[in-house]
A and B are shown apart, each in its own frame.
Chain A
C-alpha cells in the first residue's frame, strides 16, 4: 500500500474530532493540554501528507480508496484542489501553535476539547467543495464560536446580529441558485452571497463584529475564527464562479475601502487589540481586492497574500496574546517599554508585523508584489491605493512596536521572558515567513495554477450564462435551469438530485 493511499484527508478531520471527545473527558487541564497538543500535532502531520500528495500529483483530490464518507453518503463530500491543499496544513499549524502558546493562567475547563472540535470543523470547511455542505460547515463554525461567547458570559448581540444576517444571506443566496428550489434569480443570489462575503470578511461597514469578537471572546478563539480568512474561501468557492462581474467589482471596491480604512484606523488606535483588529481587516481586505481584477497574476498575488497574511497575522496575534498573558491588556496611548523583559517577543512582533505589510524578505512581499503588479495591469488607481495602504500599515506596525517595546522600561521583579513553547512557535513562524519569502517559486507556481483554474471555471460559467440568456425566450424554464452551468468541481443538477 502506497503512503498516499492512506485516507489522510479524512484522518485530518477525524483525528481532531476524536481528540475532542477524548480530551473532553480529562479533568486535569495540564494533561488535557498535552493530549490536545498531541492530537493537534498528529493532525498537522496528516494535513502535510494531504498537501504533499496533492502537490506531487499522487493524490490530486485527496481521495483514497479507504475513504469512509463516500460509502456512507454515496457522494464525495471532502475534495481538494491546488487552492485548498496548502490551507489545510496552514489551519492545522495555526491551531497547534495556538495550543502550544497557551499559558497556564489561561487554561479553562473544556477549552482544549472545544479547540479540537473547532479545528475539525475548520479543516472540513477548507476541504469541502460541495456548496451546501460548505455552507453547513460554515454555519456550524459560526455557531460554535457563538456558543463559546455564551459560555464566557459575554455579550453576543453584535456577533449574533451580523452572523445571523450572514447565515440568512448565504443560505438564501445559494438557495436562489439551486434548481431544486422554487425561487430563482441569479442577480438576487449574487447580491445575497455578496453581502454574506462582506459580512464574513469584516468589510466596512459590516465589520464591527470583528472588534466585538476580539473584545469579548478569548484572543485564541477570535484569532482562529478570523485568521484563516474564511471570507476569501467563500468568495472563491461560491462567488467567483457564479457572480456577474459587477459583483466582483463591488467586492473589490468595498475591500479597497476597508483596506484603506483599516490601515488608517490601525495607525491611530490606543489599544493593542483594536490595533490588531484593524490591521487584520486591512490585510484581509487586500486579499479580496485581487479577486476582482480578473487576471491570473492578481489572483495569484491574492492567494499568496492570503497564505502570508494568515500566517503573519496569526503570528502577530499570538505575540500580542503572549504579551497580554504577561502584562494584561496593552495600551498604545503610552510607551510600555517591554523590550527588556521579552526581546524575543519583540523580534517576533517585528518579523510577523513586517511580514503582514509585505516587507522585502518576508512571505508578504511576494504576495504584495504580485498583487500590485496584477492590479497595475487592470487599474493603476487600485495599484496606487494598495501601495499607499501597505505604507500606512507599515507605519501602524512600527508605531505599535515602538509604543509596546520601547520609550521606557517596564519594571517587574518577576521573570517575564519567553517560554520554550513560545520560542518554538516564534521560530517556526519566523522560519516560515522568512524562508517562504526567500524561496517563493514553488508556492507561486502552485498558486498560479490554482488561480488559472478558478478563473477558467469563472469564465466558463459566464459564457454559459450568456448562452442561456440568449436562448431563454425559446426554452422552457425547467430546461433552462437544468442547464445552469456550475464550475467543474461543483455537482451538477443531476447529481444534486441523487442518482
Chain B
C-alpha cells in the first residue's frame, strides 16, 4: 500500500474512530470520563492533522496535485453503482488541514470551557459527528459522498445549537436551523440525482474531468448551459442554506445560542464556508453557464451588503461576529462567481476562506473575554479605543437612514418573510386537514366532535410570547 494511501486512510479513520468510541459508549451507557474524552479527542485530532500534512508532503515531493486514496463500490448492482471515493487535491488538502487544526484548537479550548458541564460527553460526541462530516465533505470524490458529509454536518450543527436544552430558546433555534438545512439538503440531493440523470455521472473526477493531469481548478464539464444552470441553481440553493446566504441568513445569529466553542468552529470557521466550498468544487459549472456565474456574484454581493448593514446595528458580540463572518462569506462567494472569467480568483477565494476561518475562530474564542480585552487595551494606550467608522453606510442619504436602521434592526425581515409566506400557510393548511380528518373520524365512529387544539405553530411559543416559527 502506498504511503499516501496509508496517510489518507488515517485522515479518514481517526475522526471515525473517535465517533465510534464516543457514540458507542453513549449507546451502551458507558460514557468515557472527561479526561479520557480529552485524551482521545486530542490524539485523533493530532493523528488526523499529521496525516493530512503528510499527504500534503507526499503530494509536494511527488509533484502530484491529485491523489485518490479510496475508491470502492459501496453498493454494486447491475446498472447502478454507489461509489465511495476520497480525493486529496488543491482544494481538499488545505480545507482538511484547516479542519483538523481548528478542531484541535477548539478541542483544547472546550476541554476547559466545558469542564464539568452537563452533557460534556454529548458535546464531544456531536463534535465528533461534525468532524467526520467535515472530513467526508472536504475529501469527497463523488457527489453522494459529499452529501453524506453534508448531512452529518447539518445534524451536528442543529443539535449543538440546541445543546443547552433546558431552555426553549436554543431548542427553537436548533429546529429553525434544521429546517433550513433540510431545504438545503433536499436541493443538494436533487442536484446529485440530476447530475446522474443528465450527465450520467456523480464522480467528480469524470464529471468535472479532474485527474492528476488536470487537477482542481482546471476541470471542465460537458454540460449544456441549460443543464449547468439547472444543476447550478440547485447547488446555489444548497450553498445558500448552508452558508446562510440571502434569503436564508436569518439562522446565523440564532446559531449563536450554542456553546462558544461550537459557534466558533461552525459559524466562524468551517460549517459556514461549506456553501462556498461546494461552489468551488463545482467551479466548471460556472464556466459552463455565465448566467449562473452572474447569479452567484449577485448573491454574494447582496449577502455581503446585507450582512454589513445588519451587522452594524447588532448589540451583542456573537451576533456582530456572525454577521461579520457572513459579510466575508458573501465576498468569497462573489469571488467564486467572478472566477468564471478570472480563474485565479478561485485561488483567491480559497485563500480568503482559509484566512477568514482562522481569524474568525480566534475572535469567537476571545469573545467571552471581550470586555476584559478592551479594558486591557485601553489601559495600555491610556485612552478609549477609536470607534470604527460607518464605512459606506455614511453614504446613505440622511432621510433614508431611519429606514435602513429599522431594516437592519429587523435583520432585513428575512425571517418574517419566510415565516409568513412559507411556514404559516403550511401550518395553516395541514391544521385545516387535521380538523377535517378528526371530524370525519368522529362521524364514522358515531362520536360527538372532539375538541382538540389545532396546530398553530411548529413549536410552542415562549413564555414571553416570542417565537421563531409560527
Contacts and interface: CB of A to CB of B under 8 A. Distances in A.
B434 interface: yes
Given A344-B29, A391-B185, A373 B427 contact: no
B460 A334 contact: yes
B77 A444 contact: yes
Interface string B51-88: 00000000000000000000000111111101000000
Interface string B138-173: 000000100110011001001000100111100110
A296 B80 CA distance: 10
Interface in A100-125: none
Interface stretch (B175-183, B264-272, B273-281, B297-305): B175-183
A40 B152 CA distance: 37
Given A388-B186, A407-B165, A270 B171 contact: no
Given A360-B152, A376-B197, A399-B459, A212 B441 contact: yes
Given A158-B441, A391-B182, A407-B168, A265 B430 contact: yes
Interface string A85-110: 00000000000000000000000000
Given A155-B447, A157-B445, A347-B27, A391 B186 contact: yes
B225 interface: no
A402 B468 CA distance: 14
Contacts of B190: 383-384, 387
B193 A372 contact: yes
Main secondary structure of the interface of A (DSSP, over half): helix
A445 B434 CA distance: 41
A264 B430 contact: yes
Nearest to B458: A399
Contacts of B460: 333-335, 403
Contacts of B331: none
A261 B433 contact: yes
Contacts of B194: 376, 380
Contacts of B162: 402, 406
Given A208-B437, A339-B165, A268 B427 contact: yes
A450 to B, nearest CB: 12
A211 interface: yes
B277 to A, nearest CB: 18
A377 B78 CA distance: 15
A441 B74 CA distance: 7
B465 interface: no
A418 B179 CA distance: 30
A394 B181 CA distance: 10
A390 to B, nearest CB: 8
Contacts of A41: none
B148 A448 contact: no
Contacts of B193: 372-373, 376, 383, 387
A405 to B, nearest CB: 7
Interface residues on A, range: 35 or more
Nearest to A357: B182
A154 to B, nearest CB: 10
Interface string A342-380: 011001000000100001110001100110110011001
B27 A161 contact: no
B78 A448 contact: yes
Bin the interface of chain B by size: 35 or more
A38 interface: no
A363 to B, nearest CB: 12
A135 interface: no
B171 A395 contact: no
Contacts of B388: none
B75 A440 contact: yes
B80 A297 contact: yes
A427 B27 contact: yes
Contacts of A271: 452
B40 to A, nearest CB: 19
B75 A444 contact: yes
A335 B171 contact: yes
Contact of B168 (A158, A211, A335): A335
Contacts of A373: 80, 193, 196
Given A267-B458, A387-B189, A395 B151 contact: no
Contacts of A335: 168, 171, 460
Nearest to A334: B460
- Looking at chain B's contact residues, the main secondary structure is helix
Given A268-B430, A268-B455, A441-B75, A407 B167 contact: yes
A392 B162 CA distance: 20
Interface in B272-323: none
A300 interface: yes
B453 interface: yes
A260 B455 CA distance: 18
B430 A406 contact: no
Contacts of B171: 335, 402, 406-407
Given A297-B77, A347-B27, A430-B27, A161 B444 contact: yes
A208 B440 CA distance: 8
A66 B168 CA distance: 63
B429 interface: yes
Nearest to A441: B75
Contacts of A136: none
A398 interface: yes
A130 interface: no
B446 interface: yes
B168 A395 contact: no
B224 interface: no
A37 B442 CA distance: 38
B405 interface: no
B266 to A, nearest CB: 17
B372 interface: no
Interface string B178-209: 11001101100110011011000000000000
Interface string A259-296: 00100110111110000000000000000000000001
Contact of A270 (B76, B78, B165, B453): B453
A253 to B, nearest CB: 18
A269 B454 CA distance: 8
A480 interface: no
A402 B445 CA distance: 33
Contact of A155 (B76, B166, B445, B452): B445
Contact of A369 (B82, B183, B441, B452): B82
B431 interface: yes
Given A268-B434, A426-B27, A208 B78 contact: no
A300 B77 CA distance: 10
A10 B181 CA distance: 49
Interface string A52-78: 000000000000000000000000000
Contacts of A469: none
A161 to B, nearest CB: 6
Given A161-B444, A269-B455, A391-B183, A440 B74 contact: yes
Interface in A235-278: 261, 264-265, 267-271
B330 interface: no
A399 B151 contact: no
A498 to B, nearest CB: 41
B459 A387 contact: no
Given A268-B458, A347-B27, A406 B166 contact: yes
B218 interface: no
Contacts of B459: 399, 402-403
B26 interface: yes
Nearest to B147: A360
A271 to B, nearest CB: 8
Contacts of A337: 165-166
18 contacts: A155-B446, A155-B447, A157-B445, A208-B444, A211-B441, A265-B433, A267-B458, A269-B455, A335-B171, A343-B122, A360-B148, A370-B80, A373-B193, A402-B165, A406-B162, A407-B165, A441-B75, A448-B77
List the 9 closest A-B pairs by CB distance, nearest first.
A406-B165, A360-B148, A268-B455, A391-B186, A391-B182, A407-B168, A264-B430, A407-B171, A268-B430
Given A300-B77, A402-B459, 6 more contacts: A158-B444, A265-B434, A296-B79, A369-B75, A445-B77, A448-B78
